[in-house]
Structure 1
């Protein structure tokens, strides 16, 4: 790879980040820029791209529960949405085909359905990147989004088998038995392997060899194998550490994917016009997601956030289109057109996801009219049941804060987290925990519409996502809440922003950790030293 490519990718990634968009939008623009100056995709870019996708699906598997895929709103919502989207986009394309655009020469309903099916997929890569940046991968809408995407991935596998005529080997039937046999061995190795680079290498081995290569050998989709191997070891105590250790590698490799989309080709004017028209249909896709999910008893907020997360076309759409081109079902010009439309939807979707909370705040009254009377058990808001201290974000820091306060105030302390698994685990430990989200407008409305809010004296925001902490503070500032607010910060700019919001206390994780460690050592060893809080 030419070093100039890296420089251009970095420059555009930095530029779009400075204007408030995710860097991946910059990588897409970099790809088109390189193509404009005559660059072409090469084997290295494709290899890097495939590595990124494989690691992405492996890390998704590490965080996935099989039962999440069995919910009706996941498999039912995904299936119905794909059917409706395929039909709707197909009809729109048939209408456009009556124009004089040469791209629609010899265009009929078969071509319309193939392209409609290709565009019914939403991007796994984009969605996971967005959810990880907002630390909301395990939120109600994050889990729902990932579940829908995996069901779509399964549809892609069926398509490849049926249309490409690529039947798996008979040995594919032996894979379930093989995985049952080797799973205990894989877990024992994970127990013994320790930390550091050997853990990272083991992650690569699991994703690329045990998962992707085994599936590839028997004629199955390689990255689906990585996903399944991730699921196999997802319950291990080191699963999260393994996923975290692979995150930066995955993100770097995925830059190759976004560059490769831009390098697919430059459009003619007609292709660009059609690509823009296709990108506009993303509005219908969002509306259909929202309507379908609310019929499955998902509340309006979760339905909207899921819809915005999935408001894009997918890399799998390009795979579907490339197979269709190979089978002479559509012309090769459509592959470039679809690639442009995929890139455009990424650009459109990015600011929508960044402003999702504010969008919902502005239109929530209208959206709630579509809700059903009954709610899903994991998608409800709860009251605070007489608590006086609320601790949001039950990660390691949040749990530590809760335990310390609980010693002095008992049941007056309530811990809250949006992760259903975390809530259930901590409840089993006897902690006073509820599932809710500090970035949820409806949670605050429920509290401040009741008399419970008058007794709340302290709210502690311990969430990893700085934007969620900021949004929660903005919600509190807009209400009649008179108690104290404290929040955590990891970086100096975050700390300054929180202080400018005039909250009562800002906890700098790294500075305060040193203070706490020194205090603990001095009190334990009793050498007579005294520490002074640096803040």
Structure 2
């Protein structure tokens, strides 16, 4: 019954957080602190905390497993990922360490370990934010996730060195894991589409990845991520990820509750958290500068840096091993950073729009390999977004003989559609430089089929601002979104569900009118 009341309380505060414009996870953190404050009144016992620890750990493993399902390991072997993460780690640690020594007047070893813990960014929060905005596979999302994975690997090394522990000799077996990929593919092929597929995902994330890696002295989080990544190229990887979504979300509530329920902070802990929160802009500026130095566009650098502007729950794990007395102050610091980061990422795209004139001057003239297309050739119709709606529109118009071109910010989607014979280019519709360099002289109509409503609104406005006078058509799930798209300049906006219903009715009507 106690756990049921926790769920109800977490739901209430999560709903309140959403109501005031914060992500629900901030409400879950608040619920944890409130439960810690209530203490004996709500019957929080050590056994309850242990149960919550297990649930939260399962949530983190499932999250990292699903991140792995959407990850290509080739994205890690890039200079902006490896160089950006390593340089940020060293520079951030060197800059923050003196500040900690000045504020706290503690030993250089404690200051160094705290600085290292604060150099990491939150894998859970960043992945959750990027996933909710459908940006995990966008270029800036892939850069951010790549940096987070490198940081997690650094954290594992730090914990091993500081605690005097090392992986067992059996850990070398992980290098043979790629040999299991054909077996994993076959298991997924034969698991069907229902409960067996869900159980397979749970087994790989929690047992093979989690317990398996722990058994050989490695991180269970790294194991879950590794097994997810091995399945990333399977055609049903997305389906497996979607099937685990609800389970993962429920368990992650436990993760955020656990951070708060660990206990209430004292004045010194709050002061430390406040001081470290003031250093968050330094983390953001450093990431932005490094990404731009590695030839990223200002927009990609800004959005990647925004995703990484927070402190890490992995830092809590590091501190719990090497500096347990600092666990509570750092937990409050992480909580504060989550609140700040949530607001930054909530307005990241509009914020970039306002800052773009200042940020663009820092771009290097050297072009990054993920350059946006500058010419759409002789295409008469442009389709933006190649999910199910975009593909259906493309195939219908292709049969009618129209010259088409399509754009998508998901490299996997670009590869898939190219393999199927569609003319598609990689591009991010929300990139200001894309619109400034785009040549679309022959285009007469644009179909907006992206998932993100904000991307449709920005695209419509940019098209009209660039002088495009042709037809702009979009679909939307809700009437208020449809109205905003039309206010931005679209000619027609169709409600997805209404049009689907009308289409079904039209087919039925046609069948009934056919001669018997």
TM-score range normalised by the length of the shorter chain: over 0.9
SS in 1 for 2:323: helix
- Per the alignment, residue 275 of structure 1 pairs with 273
1:370 paired with 2:362, answer yes
* CA apart distance, 1:384: 2.3
1:528 paired with 2:510, answer no
2:402 to 406, 410, 414: 410
The aligned runs of 1:49-448 (5 Å cut-off) are: 49-97=56-104, 104=105, 107-177=106-176, 179-326=177-324, 332=325, 334-411=326-403, 413-447=404-438
Provide the C-alpha distance between the structure 2 equivalents of 1:427 and 1:138, rounded to a whole number of angstroms: 17
Residues 6-40 of structure 1, C-alpha deviation per residue, up to 9 Å, x if partnerless? 22211111112122221111111221122122246
Provide the C-alpha distance between the structure 1 equivalents of 2:394 and 2:144, rounded to a whole number of angstroms: 30
Provide the C-alpha distance between the structure 1 equivalents of 2:388 and 2:445, rounded to a whole number of angstroms: 20
Contact 2:372-2:428 at 8 Å conserved across structures: no
Provide the C-alpha distance between the structure 1 equivalents of 2:37 and 2:228, rounded to a whole number of angstroms: 39
Q: Which moved more, 1:156-165 or 1:298-307?
A: 156-165
Contact 1:140-1:379 at 8 Å conserved across structures: no
SS in 2 for 1:426: helix
Contact 2:461-2:489 at 8 Å conserved across structures: no
Residues 323-348 of structure 1, C-alpha deviation per residue, up to 9 Å, x if partnerless? 1225xxxxx1x221111111111111
Contact 1:381-1:442 at 8 Å conserved across structures: no
* CA apart distance, 1:479: 4.6
* CA apart distance, 1:298: 0.8
Contact 2:168-2:216 at 8 Å conserved across structures: yes
Number of residue pairs aligned between Structure 1 and Structure 2: 508
Contact 1:423-1:433 at 8 Å conserved across structures: yes
- Per the alignment, residue 30 of structure 1 pairs with 31
* CA apart distance, 1:498: 4.0
* CA apart distance, 1:478: 4.4
| Residues 293 and 460 of structure 1: CA distance in aligned 2, closer, same or farther (over 3 Å) | same
Provide the C-alpha distance between the structure 1 equivalents of 2:188 and 2:509, rounded to a whole number of angstroms: 36
Structure 1: runs of 5+ lacking an equivalent:
98-103, 327-331, 531-535
The normalised TM-score by structure 1 is 0.90
Residues 482-510 of structure 1, C-alpha deviation per residue, up to 9 Å, x if partnerless? 22222222345544544565632223333
Residues 412-458 of structure 1, C-alpha deviation per residue, up to 9 Å, x if partnerless? x21000112322332343322111122222222223xx5x35x4322
Provide the C-alpha distance between the structure 2 equivalents of 1:478 and 1:9, rounded to a whole number of angstroms: 45
Residues 288-339 of structure 1, C-alpha deviation per residue, up to 9 Å, x if partnerless? 001111111111110000000000000011011111225xxxxx1x221111
* CA apart distance, 1:280: 1.0
Contact 1:382-1:434 at 8 Å conserved across structures: no
* CA apart distance, 1:477: 4.8
Provide the C-alpha distance between the structure 1 equivalents of 2:201 and 2:355, rounded to a whole number of angstroms: 43
SS in 2 for 1:42: helix
SS in 2 for 1:374: coil
Provide the C-alpha distance between the structure 2 equivalents of 1:355 and 1:49, rounded to a whole number of angstroms: 28
The normalised TM-score by structure 2 is 0.93
2:52 to 42, 45, 67: 45
* CA apart distance, 1:527: 4.7
Provide the C-alpha distance between the structure 1 equivalents of 2:199 and 2:323, rounded to a whole number of angstroms: 38
| Residues 460 and 59 of structure 1: CA distance in aligned 2, closer, same or farther (over 3 Å) | same
* CA apart distance, 1:409: 4.4
Structure 2: runs of 5+ lacking an equivalent:
none
Provide the C-alpha distance between the structure 2 equivalents of 1:181 and 1:82, rounded to a whole number of angstroms: 33
Q: Which moved more, 1:15-24 or 1:236-245?
A: 15-24
Contact 2:82-2:150 at 8 Å conserved across structures: yes
2:460 to 473, 476, 489: 473
1:17 paired with 2:18, answer yes
Q: Which moved more, 1:24-33 or 1:38-47?
A: 38-47
Contact 2:159-2:322 at 8 Å conserved across structures: no
